[in-house]
Structure 1
Amino acid sequence: MRLSIISLAVVSQLAAIASVSAADDAKIEKISVVGSRLAVRTATDTPVPVDIITAEQLEATGLTETAKALQSAAPSYSFPFSAVTDGSDAVRPASLRGMSPDHALVLVNGKRYHGSALVHLNGTASKGSSNVDLNTIPMTAIKRIEILRDGASAQYGSDAIAGVINVVLKDADDGGLVNAQTGQTYMGDGEQWRVGVNKGLQTNEDGFVNISMEAQHKNSTNRAGNDPRQQYAALADGSPDPREDSFDRKNHQVGDGTYDNLGIFVNAGQSFSDKSKLYAFGGFSHRENESGAFYRRSLDARNLTAIYEDGFLPKIAPKLTDYTAVVGYKFNPLEWDVDVSAGYGKNEFEYHVNNSLNVSYGDASPTSFYAGTLSTDELDFTIDASRYIPFYNSSDLMLALGALWRENSYKIEAGEEASYANGGFGGATGSQGFTGFTPESQVDESRHNTGVYAEVENQLTQDFYWAAAARYEYYSDFGSNTSWKLATRYELSDRFAVRATANTGFRAPSVQQLYFSNISTLFSNDPVTGQPVPTESGTFNSLSDVAHALGISELKPEKSQSISGGLVFTGDDGLSITLDAYQIDVDDRIVLSSSVRPDQSEAVAAALATTNAQSARFFLNAVDTRTRGVDFVASKGFSLGSYGDLNTSLAYSYSITDIQSIHLPNTFGDLDPASLFDNVEQVRMTRATPRNKGNLNFSHHYGDFKTNLRFNYFGEYMIAYSNGEEAVYGDKITTDLSVAYSATDNLTVTLGGQNLFDVYPDKAPSTQQFNGIFKYPITNAPFGINGGYYYLDLRYTF
């Protein structure tokens, strides 16, 4: 059965949190909101595994991006590097427990948070998915992040197959901070700065407004090798152009792009009595990113020497704008705690291409283009109610009921005509680097769903806890779904406890997967030479004429079955250990197929005859998978007497995904169905993310000094290439170190280094380096290819 809600997991807990004084703040940071509606629990008391990442832990990473900081703090969360992947350079795919990015539900203050409009297309992990862009939430605004590592569709609805990430915003009604950080890589590039401000205000005796603002700037990094190829056409006598000797051969940009980001978040509440409260929160962020595509040489047919005498590097320069707003009211009629809320979120991804041209326009071609906009929005209305009911053995039963209505919309706006049109002068059509969305790609579609749920929780005895949940939802585009969950926890002694869950789950096809369609220039390695070759690749949704002509079925929801079990040890000396194992089966998993070409099938040739595409790919419910894993977390504090205090933690995550079956449409005539999901895509699904990840943390406080030392372990991963080659990239350990000095009661100065010993991933096989230009893998590197980074951080609290 299936339950979907957004807020009840938070209702009674947030009320309890708000009532605790600032003096108890350290205890607040141990409170778990996700996963249980009973009385406030600690991370080791929950019936399911929950990580609680405090603001202090995020800040201690020294990282300026929320998603990167979370990866350093929680091994079960992955945020891999990608470069030369169009829009994915600006919004990288992030995942939980080694699963797809869209298998993790993100909440803010317990309310569902909208996703990014971008669809990952070009070689990244989890190609064909979309994810929530956590970097739209400023780190300055975050009080803590809770990660529920268990299937929770019956509690929270679609997408919660791998788990739930809940971002809790700061809610202080006084004080604040000003934070400034600057740093750069050991190579001297990637210079960046971040300035954040947070202020809590008391509006009256029972109200607060907490405001956070953050601005960031980062310069690009570049780890490209020199381009040894001939750059200019030979002279009339066949001799090399003398400009070959002076040409700057580091012409590609392989690394992080440049970006400027501004984010603002507000969290507010007003209590009218002990039983009624009005609350609201919302945010706005705007980011401008710029990253490189493939370089066009002077002699290239895709260049016009009258415009770019020496060739050019197209720059993909998207502008991302994100909005969110939630308002709700809590009250207590007839002993029920009721929460009524409405929320709206929107994400816009506006494509621009700079330093480019449209060859077919000849020498009159523009050099900058507006290439179109992707946008998605979400509107939610929820009502949740809970109360305690006397139950067996003098215990209370927590009963929670709720309903929701949600609308999701997706829109593609065409770019300016010159970004996609044929100007009539011959040669390549469209803006180089990223071809604009055509009028044929435009969509403006929406879908809605309604849902109801029920949940019961009961601490039957001092030792035994149990819970059950069920949810039913109806979607306007594919029908209904029901999911359920059972959870239990039993204390064997004062020190040991066991916990277990079983649940079913689902993920509705995202509106991005339902409606995204585009024809763009992609680069794929030639199976003979191994060199990147440009092709006009069409991505066609299941509603398109091409999909219908080839018998591609419309998408249906993914469905999951999960079980987990765990052991918990809590010592009286502060030692806590949790060990949890899990298995997640997902049926009808949605994938973006491999590209198929007209020369492979007459049916494909006929379907593409009326398009400009040289190949086609589709979203398909094509794969059944099984993910198994183990999570281990241990922490211990030590008093070192006159030498201060030491806190230690060890976290390790192992997950392995296997493909159980592949069921592809057999409607392409002479085309082998296996080519729709080839070895490249199979390896991407099962091995692109390290199976093993972990970190070991030491935090030492001595007088006015605080030292943080962290060792990060990233296991091996694999990439398969279109020429049949497979490359295994070995495991690595990176080291982060920071020393903070409290200069005054208010001012703290921190000097730190990330990847202290300048570790890089293994180099790519020589056959995949594109003439030595791509020395390192340009996708899926779990900690990036920038090497070491050092920074200075100033924090003033008041």
Structure 2
Amino acid sequence: MLNRKSARQCILLFATTLLSFIYVTAQSPTGTVKGTVKDASGTALSGASVTVQGKNIGTATDGSGAYTLQLAPGKYTLSISYVGFQNYITNVTVVGGETIEQSVLLVQSSDLAEVTVGTRSRSPRTAISTPVPVDVIPVAQIVNDVGQVDLNQIMTYLAPSFQSARQTISDGTDHVDPAQLRGLGPDQVLVLINGKRRHQSALVNVNGTVNRGTVGTDMSAIPASSIERVEILRDGAAAQYGSDAIAGVINIVLKKKTGLLDVNASYGMYNTSYDKNYALYKLNNISNDPSEHVTDGKTFQAALNYGFAVGAKGYLNLTGEYTQRGATNRTGTYTGALYPNVGGVNRDDSILNAKGLTRNEFDMRIGNSEMKGGALFYNFAYPFADGKSELYAFGGYSIKKGNAAGFYRYPTSVVSGATKYASDVFALYPNGFLPEIASAITDFSTAIGLRTKFWKWDFDISNTYGINRFDFDVENSINYTQFATGETTRPQTSFDAGGLKFFQNTINADLSKKFDVLAGLNVAGGSEFRIDGFGITSGEEASYKNFDIQSGATGGAQVFAGFVNTIGGNKTRNAFAFYTDLEQEFTKSFMLTGALRYEHYSDFGSTLNYKFSTRYKLHRNFNIRASVSSGFRAPSMQQQYYAKTNTLFVTENGNLVPKESGTFTNDSKPAQILGIPKLKQETSQSYSVGFTANPVKGLDITVDAYMIDINNRIVLTNNFGDGGNAELRAQLQAVGASNANFFANAVDTRSKGLEAVVAYNANLGAEHSLRTTLAAIFINNEVKKGADGKPIVHASDILVETNQVGAYFNREDQSRMEVANPKNKLSLTFNYKLKKFGAMLRFVNFGKVQYLDATVNPANPSAFPVNAFTGQKETLDQTFGSKLVTDLSFSYQLTKELGITLGANNLFDVYQDMHTHSGNFSNGRFVFSRRVQQMGFNGGYYFARVRFAINTKTK
């Protein structure tokens, strides 16, 4: 097995070999192909793509629509494309020392899905000409140069405003990566596919992750190989698209290419070292090297994409993908007591020696979950003979099966948790056990629609349906109290724990038309009717039941007690909306847009939202732009109806202690007793201002500042005890819980930020190019505070009177919104092409993050816990410094059809900072924080990718 040094040497050797091709390039004189790209009216199209098919050579037009290519003598096929227009294909013959003029007029496409997100105008615009900031990420061009295999991870390293890090020891969230835009919640960004609303995941993030209490969209269910591009609208857009679009909109555009068979496969693994034994050596003053070398996370992915021509201009594009991801483990060595004391003295060492064991046998699994899955997606369109109508459909099915572990149940914890049944448990698990959560996540979606002309208006009517199911099994576990039934001849170790489902059906009818008013007026309008549904499936009885409440033993399957459906049948609601959208170009320099949307929900009422934006061209190469909008987010069905008892580990006196905590709905009796109000919508007010520039050929610059105020943000509260209330105690005991939590509109926040993107495309000569992209975001998210500097919490009078506001919203909750995600992120990417050779070098800097502990008062140092490493009283608060991650890959086109890529993600094996306080190490187990994360903590990843692409069209 290769170690880190050998892996890097292999990569450098491969790089040296490929770079040698630079010195054997042809010395014959080159020829020039140049021209302009314009639309039918003669307007120059800046940023149009001009590529040489089969050669990985290309350029983009400048602000006047001009382009130049230097090519070696020979015959070439040029492809010229621009968003919103039909591709133009032409053949050219290049002669050394001569110049060929090749100017084209592009014809506007009839496919409305080509339009960049954020506008309903059919006048296409580049990212530097839009009135609001939009990133267009060509995933189809990028995916073969990177080692990341799922969309969340690919976008985290490409788009600074987008952030997603894998979570660990967090129940279901181990299996779905929450994703954020501008540091806001996963449910405050709207996801579309081909311009149509995508349904959310059924999972609620209820454990202690940075996105606790939120519900996101599982974008990893969409195979990256099926995607042509991703459009990220970084601006509030609720007035255009409805609920959730507070931070922005992500539109995923599926491939529609035909006649190209594209097969790719990749394999990679983590090869790294980390200080696994740091706490063990620190506590015992041992000078040995605490590091340990690890090779894990082996990942294989294979995908096939092919498009069939349907009729003269129609298509059916199909993608199949399979992924197998191995688990990673960055656990620390446990330093606490393993076995109960003997005669009041800890005898762990002698017991381990007698059993022939070491502490390594008691390791937890802290890292990426294991995951296997496959997906099949399709994208279809059929234009009718009249040339005015098109039938379209798209969607897909995916299934993922995951496995992750929870906290190790050491013999000491078995004694305290199983009480009188401990001896029965030890007969099965003499050294305790590591329980596992197995997931089965199925996702299905389909959309069908018709685009046509209706009284000279463009008309689009569609129906989109999606469903996500998240089912849980518990393995290598036990229900301590099942021994009380007297029927357990062979103890049950696996359990069906039930699950969740969310489904959504959306009907849209949209109209748009462009009028010759001044420089152009686009009028759009439409309506939407949507049904949301949520349901809970109960697990088998043994997964959740406490068969002997009086014993004091913990009931239900250890690590994850099964669901009990207390809400009855599926809960549904409906919403209908009407909108209008106007875009007026007063001149070719000045544009003003406005949108208004009315929406009514059957469960909480109505909302009216607006948006205005403008762009003014001060010079042909310099624009200023601004927008103002209101927005909203309806409480998700999951937040309204999720109900379950979970085992949560909370910190008490510096130790993690398991607590059975019940999540109750807001219309439940415990909510009434504590004065928890029913959920209402979040509302927002957004502002942005920025400029775009194209000062020289090939250089695009965008800079935008924004501010978003959000009122009544929904959080999952912390745990409330019964407080001596007998009625509340009875309610908790009925579900086997010792405390309760709820979803609540707890606080108001203000988010401010600055985003910048600088891209430069340089044509360096014959079949020789370099593209450089620098992108950055600087974020400041704050919970609004009173004059005393403390957060303003919307708590009920009952909570204030009973001094339980801290349980409603505390410092750790505050830190999740303010500082638990990177406050800034910068990326610098170089993409180099020379004939058949390509290289990608990327630097991503993840800004600092902070953990704020909820259990201590920073104003009272005397109450701080003692740091066992230093012997001093210290707060558990910690700042984790910024980290620079380097990705490098090299590719070579062996033949016209076959290409290979070798590379590394996190080439220099960078980790985020370790914990500095012994309490956060949790007796040595958590070397790295699971509460705040930047880029995860897995270390260097090395991969190889093979791509086979063949054009099956008849020449």
Give me the TM-score of the superposition, normalised by structure 1.
0.94
Distance (Å, rounded) in 2 between the aligned partners of 1:183 and 1:429: 41
Match of 1:448 in 2: 574
Other-structure match for 1:722: 854
Mapped contact 1:107–1:167 kept (Cα < 8 A): yes
Q: For 1:688, what is the secondary structure of its paired residue?
A: coil
Q: Which amino acid aligns with 1:42?
A: T
> Structure 1 770/488 Cα, relative in aligned 2: closer, same or farther at 3 Å?
same
Are 1:42 and 2:146 matched, yes or no? no
The alignment partner of 1:711 has SS state of strand
CA contact (8 A) 1:549 1:607 kept: no
Name the counterpart of 1:479. Answer: 605
Match of 2:221 in 1: 136
Q: Letter of the 2:611 partner, please give it.
A: K
Partner of 2:621: 495
Q: Percent same amino acid at aligned positions?
A: 37
2:492 corresponds to which of 359, 363, 366 = 366
Aligned residue among 671, 677, 700 for 2:832: 700
Match 2:771 to one of 628, 636, 647: 647
Secondary structure of the structure 2 residue equivalent to 1:492: strand
Would you say the 8 A contact 2:380–2:394 is kept in 1?
Answer: yes
RMSD of aligned C-alpha atoms?
Answer: 2.2
Amino acid at match of 1:325: T
Which one-letter code corresponds to 1:676 in the other structure?
Y
Partner of residue 772 from structure 1, selected from 924, 943, 949: 924
Q: How far does residue 309 in structure 1 lie from its aligned partner after superposition?
A: 1.5
Gap change, CA 1:177 and 1:243, over 3 Å in 2: farther
Q: Is the 8 A contact 1:107 1:165 kept in 2?
A: yes
What residue is the counterpart of 1:314 in the other structure? 435
Q: Does 1:289 align with 2:402?
A: yes
After superposition, the C-alpha distances for 1:262-321 in whole angstroms (9 at most, x for unaligned) are: 011000000003210000001000000101100011342246111111211011111100
- Which deviates more, 579-588 or 771-780? 771-780
Once residues 274 and 667 of structure 1 are traced to their aligned partners in structure 2, the CA distance between those partners, rounded to angstroms, is: 66
Give 1:766's aligned amino acid. Answer: S
Distance 1:439 1:153, change over 3 A: closer
Task: Write the deviation string for residues 143-191 of structure 1: whole angstroms up to 9, x where unpaired.
Answer: 0000000000001110000000000000012212100000100131001
Match of 1:33 in 2: 116
Structure 1 unaligned runs (5+)?
A: 1-13
1:386/1:401 contact within 8 Å kept? yes
Deviation at 1:600, TM superposition (A): 7.7
Report the Cα offset of residue 643 of structure 1.
Answer: 8.9
2:372 is aligned with 1:249: no
Cα deviation for residue 361 of structure 1 reads: 1.0
Cα distance between partner residues in 1 of 2:630 and 2:501: 31
Deviation at 1:531, TM superposition (A): 1.4
The aligned residue for residue 349 of structure 1 is: 470
**Does the 8 Å contact 1:32/1:42 carry over to 2?**
no
Match of 1:710 in 2: 842
Give how far 1:468 is off. Answer: 0.4
CA contact (8 A) 1:57 1:73 kept: no
State the one-letter code of the partner of 1:249. Answer: R
* Alpha-carbon offset, residue 671 of structure 1: 3.0
The CA distance in 2 between the partners of 1:254 and 1:260, in whole Å, is 18
Instruction: Decide whether aligned partners of structure 1 residues 306 and 647 sit closer, same or farther in structure 2, where only a CA change above 3 A counts.
Output: same
1:16-415 aligned within 5 A: 17=84, 19-21=86-88, 33-38=116-121, 39-55=123-139, 56-186=141-271, 187-233=294-340, 240=347, 242-245=350-353, 246-250=356-360, 251-272=363-384, 273-299=386-412, 300-301=414-415, 302=417, 304-362=425-483, 364-391=490-517, 393=518, 395-415=519-539
1:5 counterpart residue number: none
Q: Is 2:650 the counterpart of 1:516?
A: no
Counterpart contact for 2:322–2:375, Cα < 8 Å: yes
TM-score, length-scaled by structure 2: 0.79
Question: Corresponding residue for 1:6?
Answer: none
In structure 1, the partner of 2:736 is 612
User: Take 2:437 and 2:359, find their aligned partners in 1: how far apart are those partners?
Assistant: 21
How many Å apart are 1:721 and its aligned residue? 2.5
Q: Which stretch shifts more, 233-242 or 595-604?
A: 233-242
Query: CA–CA distance in 2 between the matches of 1:770 and 1:22?
Result: 62
Distance 1:588 1:71 in 2: 28
Instruction: Choose 551-560 or 499-508, whichever is displaced more.
Output: 551-560
- How much does 1:440 deviate? 2.9
Offset of 1:348 from its aligned partner?
0.3
SS at match of 1:653: strand
Cα deviation for residue 80 of structure 1 reads: 2.0
Q: CA deviation at 1:389?
A: 2.5
Report deviation, 1:416: 0.4
Q: 1:232·1:244 contact (CA, 8 Å) conserved in 2? A: no
Aligned CA distance change for structure 1 residues 495 and 390 (closer, same or farther; 3 Å) = closer
Residue in structure 2 matched with residue 9 of structure 1 by the alignment? none
Paired residues, number: 780
* Unaligned stretches of 5+ residues in structure 2: 1-80, 91-103, 272-293, 785-791, 857-875, 951-955
Which residue of 867, 885, 888 maps to 1:734?
885
Per the TM alignment, residue 766 of structure 1 is displaced from its structure 2 partner at its CA by 2.2
Match of 1:4 in 2: none
Contact 2:463 2:507 in 1 (8 A): yes
**Distance in 1 separating the partners of 2:733 and 2:312:** 70
SS of structure 2 residue aligned to 1:67: helix
Q: Which amino acid aligns with 2:749?
A: T
Give the deviation of 1:648 after TM superposition.
0.2
CA pair 518-332 structure 1, distance change in 2 beyond 3 A: same
Structure whose alpha-carbon radius of gyration is higher: 2
Once the two structures are TM-superposed, the CA of residue 780 in structure 1 deviates from its matched residue by 3.0
- Give the Cα separation in 1 of the matches to 2:726 and 2:851: 31
Q: What SS is found at the alignment partner of 2:761?
A: strand
- Structure 1 residue 59: Cα displacement: 3.6
Distance in 2, Cα, partners of 1:721 & 1:237: 33
Are 1:787 and 2:939 an aligned pair? yes
Q: Is the 8 A contact 2:83 2:114 kept in 1?
A: no
* Corresponding position of 1:8: none
Shift of 1:235: 6.0
How many Å separate the matches in 2 of 1:118 and 1:173? 36
Structure 2: how far apart are the matches of 1:769 and 1:238? 24
